[in-house]
Structure 1
Amino acid sequence: MALDGTGITIIGGGIGGLTAALALRSRGANVRVLEQADAIREVGAGIQVSPNGFRVLDALGLGDAFRAITVAGQAVSLRDYKRGGEVMRLDLTSLPETETYRFVHRADLVELLAETARQAGVQIRLLQKADTVVPGPKPRVDMVNGDHIDDDLIIGADGLHSVLRPVLNGVEAPFFTGQVAWRAVVPNLMGHPPEARVHMGPGRHLVSYPLRNCQAVNIVAVEERREWQAEGWSHTDDPASLRAAFSSFGGMVPEMLHAVDAPGVWGLFRHNVARKWFGENVALLGDAAHPTLPFMAQGAVMAIEDAWVLADALHKAPDFAEGLHSYQTRRAGRVRRVVEAANGNAWKYHLRNPLVRGVAHLGLGALGRLAPDRMLGQFDWIYKHDVTVG
């Protein structure tokens, strides 16, 4: 269907919502984004954007601008926790430019998307807190302040606590995974190279990589824990708690953690992929449809893919109903497989038994030396996928 002049409202001004705004606007839709904050910003810190995400940004005309704000990953380095010795190294420098892995601060990517969207004519409205969504021939967003907004199509790109998801799927209780994560960004005073390092220890691991022209380092540290009360990004922890949890780690880790000031902390919860992604003239996108644990670094990238496929499906269909059905059909199986891969990945870094860990690390090292292509290629189904083709 021709989207020229179609009115589309997107709830949520994060990476997924803004990418969708650009993709839909490029096909002629009149798009507005409702963001509850007083400014377009992104909580959190760094993200990794794999080639499947870059292809979408490049297709939207952002390739050069995106490269300029990112660090190209040169390697993935798996390391033992005690002394920081390298267990396995995957060299990424031989990959084609279009298949590079990029490290970027969320705020920088959101700023790029928001500025490009505004220049393209997308209306971004701040301080707009949605209360619920009413599907129908003319769907409606009811706002917390009592106002309401009608449009031709409404998209819920509003994350874990989406107001649209329970309308379509009912209220669902998430499952605590028994893991808690800290996130922080520190100055790169320790000379962290342009690579992703995974420091693996008993019951916990820490991932680090550089941001902003290698002037800063992003840290995500995960610890197994029995209990957690709240889910979300808004909790700040005492850095002493983080340092205590990783006090047995050596190598570069102590220096990185010494520089942490006020780390964010959150419990990791497992959610089901939504059964219904759409209703009458409404649709879910990104974490609102399929929250993803961080162990494959695909949460933001799956939202970027969603944005392209949603716009493409609507563009090719005769009406919204068929387009939204096509969107879920094209996306649900892939994101379910990615979510399941992330669910099953963390334990590999948390081996507690010293003998088992030693044998596993020897095996990883041997595979990295003898069959690096096999190690790099095991997730080709994720990274080589291109939603912009076809």
Structure 2
Amino acid sequence: MAPKRPYVAVVGGGIGGLAVAIGLRKQGIEAVVHEQARELDHQGAGIAIGANGHRALRHLGVADRLAGAAVEPVRADFRHWRTGRSTVTHALAGGYADRFGAPFWTVERAAVQQALLAELGPGAVRLGARCTEVTQTGAGAVIRFADGAETEADAVIGADGIHSAVRHSVFGPDEAVFSGTSGYRALVPMDRLGHIPELAERVLWLWLGPGRHFIAYPVADGAALNFLAVVPDAQWTVESWSTEGESAELLAAFEGWHPFVTEILAACERPGRWALYDREPRRVWSTDRVTLLGDAAHAMLPHHGQGANQSLEDAVVLAHLLGSAGADGVAQALRSYERARRPRTRLLQAGSRKNAACFQLPDGPEARARDERLTRLPDDLAWIHGHDALGALREQTAPV
């Protein structure tokens, strides 16, 4: 008789939660996503999908669904904040995929969510389900919701973000770490930016300057430009995708910068503004019946562009291990997942913190040394972008 398949409840309907549900269902495991919002939030502007994240999307059967909305930039171009001089460039289209086995994409977060939902199919997401507590039983775990409902599962996956209710309930309170910076971000229609000739090319732009930096890239098959502007902001502590900033304040923060930057900022009517937080790496994020995924487990600052990619890596690894376990092997599968994922995500959390300072150096010897290091960027980031999460897992578990 085949072993009983576990029933899995996922808390959180973001990229990681939807992705792990797809992975589980592809292996014949019943998985339901419980999302607190009454409708899925498609805000959040753009994200970068590296080769490591692309491999996960391909494994889930979602990459082809995204291809029409994604952009493959021709290069990454680092620019001096004031002069506009190109200090370092790296080819992306073609050569990147040849080296790392999959392309580098820039895409709207909403498009990724919609592709995941389409692959997941109807009936897999329960909306308006705000988790308030998770308790473990001898044979599983129980989720309690704000509306009084309960659900019991063989395993619970907390994919509910940096302020995870699952983490708080199971592992106790901890504090998010404020970086002292804010991120402004928005999507600007390209038809507002036709007077900037450089935008005719599909490029990942990175403008580095003293105390702040600006990143921009096309999304929506080139119909819009996504930007992220990071500024020092010790007083602003609101961490929310839906909070709006003031365009005048944003422009003032980049006074003296090259017109490429300031004209993009001027074309943005209502930029989103959110305080940038991460968390200290956790020593443990799994019990016998509950585990964490994505930002709930390893929230990181956006300065490696790896938040969504790491959620996707988590999802395919966890789904694979649970799919191989059966209901009686849930505890071992969850702990194997943590062992497989924790070392890599700890390094990325630390690296994302360091990059903030690296991107915001004043002109002078340190900035010149940084630019010299950036010439070696493809080699330095090969461990991130060249990673195959499932391949690494198979190597770790292969018999000697």
- Tell me which amino acid in the other structure corresponds to 2:268: V
TM-score (norm. length: structure 2): 0.90
Q: 1:166 to 1:174 in 2, by over 3 A?
A: same
Q: Partners of 1:4 and 1:259 in 2: how far apart?
A: 57
| 2:300 counterpart (279, 287, 292) | 292
| 2:267 counterpart (254, 259, 264) | 259
Calculate percent identity across the aligned residue pairs.
Answer: 33
Q: Find the counterpart in structure 2 of residue 148 from structure 1.
A: 150
Which aligned runs of 4 or more in structure 1 are off by greater than 4 angstroms?
1-5
| 2:254 counterpart (246, 251, 258) | 246
- 83-92 vs 224-233, which deviates more? 224-233
SS at match of 2:67: helix
SS at match of 2:181: strand
- Give yes or no for contact 1:210–1:217 (8 Å, CA) kept in 2: yes
- Tell me which amino acid in the other structure corresponds to 1:17: G
- 44-53 vs 123-132, which deviates more? 123-132
Q: 1:361 to 1:7 in 2, by over 3 A?
A: closer
Q: Find the counterpart in structure 2 of residue 323 from structure 1.
A: 333
Q: Partners of 1:74 and 1:16 in 2: how far apart?
A: 28
Q: Find the counterpart in structure 1 of residue 346 from structure 2.
A: 336
| 1:385 counterpart (384, 387, 393) | 387
Q: 1:280 to 1:388 in 2, by over 3 A?
A: closer
SS at match of 1:184: strand
- Residues 182-214 of structure 1 deviation map (CA, whole Å, 9 limit, x = unaligned): 111101223523221111111000000000111
Q: Find the counterpart in structure 2 of residue 74 from structure 1.
A: 74
- Give yes or no for contact 2:185–2:228 (8 Å, CA) kept in 1: yes
C-alpha root-mean-square deviation of aligned residues, in Å? 2.0
1:195-274 equivalence runs, <5 A:
195-274=203-282
SS at match of 2:283: coil
Q: Partners of 1:177 and 1:2 in 2: how far apart?
A: 50
1:232 Cα deviation after fit: 2.9
- Tell me which amino acid in the other structure corresponds to 1:114: L
Unpaired runs of at least 5, structure 2: 395-400
| 1:345 counterpart (335, 347, 355) | 355
1:2-151 equivalence runs, <5 A:
5-93=5-93, 94-96=95-97, 98-118=101-121, 123-136=124-137, 137-151=139-153
- Residues 245-288 of structure 1 deviation map (CA, whole Å, 9 limit, x = unaligned): 11221141122111111111111123112232222311111000
- Residues 337-389 of structure 1 deviation map (CA, whole Å, 9 limit, x = unaligned): 1111111111112112x32356336636xx73xxxxx4311111111110122
- Residues 215-239 of structure 1 deviation map (CA, whole Å, 9 limit, x = unaligned): 1000100012333333332321111
1:38 Cα deviation after fit: 2.1
| More helix as a share of residues | 2
| 1:363 counterpart (359, 372, 380) | 372
Q: Partners of 1:246 and 1:19 in 2: how far apart?
A: 37
Q: Partners of 2:2 and 2:78 in 1: how far apart?
A: 49
1:2 Cα deviation after fit: 7.0
Q: Partners of 1:161 and 1:257 in 2: how far apart?
A: 30
Q: Partners of 1:51 and 1:242 in 2: how far apart?
A: 32
- Give yes or no for contact 2:78–2:89 (8 Å, CA) kept in 1: yes
TM-score (norm. length: structure 1): 0.92
Q: 1:135 to 1:162 in 2, by over 3 A?
A: same
1:30 Cα deviation after fit: 0.9
Q: 1:2 to 1:307 in 2, by over 3 A?
A: farther
1:3 Cα deviation after fit: 7.9
Q: Partners of 1:264 and 1:175 in 2: how far apart?
A: 20
Report whether the alignment pairs 1:178 with 2:159: no
